[in-house]
Amino acid sequence: MAKNKPKSALPDSQAIDWQRAVETSNNPSDVKIVPIFSIWGKGAVHESITKEAAKLAKVPYTTALEKGVEWPDVPSTKPGETNYPGLINGDLHKKGTITNNSHYGQNQFWHSMTPPGDFKNGDVLDKIVHQAVQWYEQAQKEKNIFHVGKILHIVQDSYSEAHTIRSKDGKIVTFQSYDKQDPNKHEKADVIPRWGTWRDVPGAISALQASTKILELYKSEASSKALEDYLRNQVFPFENGLTKNQPAGGTNPKYAPTIAENITNQNHYANLDKVLQEILISDSSAENKALMINRALEIASGHAQNAQTHTPTNNPEVL
């Protein structure tokens, strides 16, 4: 007899994926609430774009295709499978795991972002294209659209304002770095607006067009060279000749951590003194400076669990 599913007070779109995480976890009773909903439950943006693209390309929207487009967020070492428990069992922050490498490590380019280290924009694009071609050839060899779904994820992420910075005409200016961003701010970039649909997410329509084309290439059995040309020339064209050779990384300021939060990121600040200096020379009011200093001290002392309540609400970009 099947076990009764635990009831959830969450909205249906979130409860679906919470249930998926609970059912696939090795220890459901110890499941922790994590931002798993940003991957599937907040409207299933990747899945929605891919489902519509499959319809336009006249390609069946199969379980394999859906799992493929989810895979870079919840990667598994098992062929053709996703690993949602990887987000709730500690793998996300455990160095060396496939989940950690995808979100924080050398495979951040699976999300059209810059991995840790010194890379030029051209280097990141080369990694993306090499991986996409490899997956495309694997899909053709195995006749398994799952691997095409993984390519779609990279491409769709590239149109997110939190992943790349594009010019007004859609050309790549830089690939951003996740480790330079506030994860909560990053997450909000891809959330469906209230009363809206996935089509209202910035970049979603461009992502749909590119996804449709890639599925059409696969359907027509086009060569991997055709895919590479499309990616380099249409999906990831650089804004100008200099952009390709410029350092990749950084972040759009609206996704950056506050000054006080940056104390936890050694890539930005080596010690508390420098953080305090940044606060003191900022344009914030004396009251806000005092609040920021308190927050920095809380973080430095390891007692920042509730520090969010002390963050000033005015002039957020100054922080």
- Please say whether the beta carbons of 82 and 76 come within 8 A: yes
pLDDT in tens, 153-174: 999 999 999 999 999 999 999 9
Same domain for 292 and 246, yes or no, is no
pLDDT of residue 128: 98
pLDDT of residue 223: 98
Same domain for 294 and 199, yes or no, is no
pLDDT in tens, 8-29: 333 333 333 433 443 444 444 3
**Percentage, residues of the chain above pLDDT 70:** 67
Helices (H), the chain: 12-24, 45-57, 63-70, 98-103, 121-142, 146-158, 183-188, 204-219, 224-230, 272-280, 286-300
317: in domain: no
pLDDT of residue 260: 53
Rounded Cα–Cα distance for residues 228 and 235 (Å):
10
Which of 254, 280, 300 lies at the terminal end of a domain, its last residue? 254
170: in domain: yes
43: in domain: yes
Same domain for 236 and 280, yes or no, is no
Same domain for 142 and 189, yes or no, is yes
Q: What is the mean pLDDT of the segment spanning 124-143?
A: 98
Same domain for 172 and 220, yes or no, is yes
232: in domain: yes
**184: confidence class by pLDDT, cuts 50, 70, 90:** confident
Which of 215, 239, 254 lies at the terminal end of a domain, its last residue? 254
Distances (CA, A) of 125 to 108, 114, 160, 235: 12, 9, 16, 11
Same domain for 121 and 49, yes or no, is yes
pLDDT of residue 298: 57
Q: What is the mean pLDDT of the segment spanning 234-256?
A: 89
- The SS3 call for residue 177 is coil
Rounded Cα–Cα distance for residues 263 and 271 (Å):
7
Q: Is the pLDDT of residue 186 over 50?
A: yes
3: in domain: no
**54: confidence class by pLDDT, cuts 50, 70, 90:** very high
Rounded Cα–Cα distance for residues 56 and 54 (Å):
5
Which of 254, 277, 299 lies at the terminal end of a domain, its last residue? 254
Domain count for the chain, please give it: 2
Same domain for 21 and 127, yes or no, is yes
Same domain for 128 and 243, yes or no, is yes
Cα torsion 39, 17, 131, 226: sign: negative
Q: What is the mean pLDDT of the segment spanning 46-66?
A: 97
Q: Which of 39-48, 121-130, 233-242 ranks highest by mean pLDDT?
A: 121-130
Same domain for 143 and 112, yes or no, is yes
Phi-psi region of 271 (alpha: psi -120 to 50; beta: other; left: phi over 0): beta
Q: What is the mean pLDDT of the segment spanning 180-202?
A: 86
Same domain for 250 and 261, yes or no, is no
**292: confidence class by pLDDT, cuts 50, 70, 90:** low
Rounded Cα–Cα distance for residues 152 and 266 (Å):
33
Q: What is the mean pLDDT of the segment spanning 61-68?
A: 97
**183: confidence class by pLDDT, cuts 50, 70, 90:** confident
Rounded Cα–Cα distance for residues 181 and 163 (Å):
10
5: in domain: no
67: in domain: yes
Domain that holds residue 140: 12-254
136: in domain: yes
Q: Which residue has the higher pLDDT, 31 or 243?
A: 243
Same domain for 99 and 201, yes or no, is yes
- The mean pLDDT value of the chain amounts to 78
Same domain for 156 and 301, yes or no, is no
Q: Is the pLDDT of residue 4 over 70?
A: no
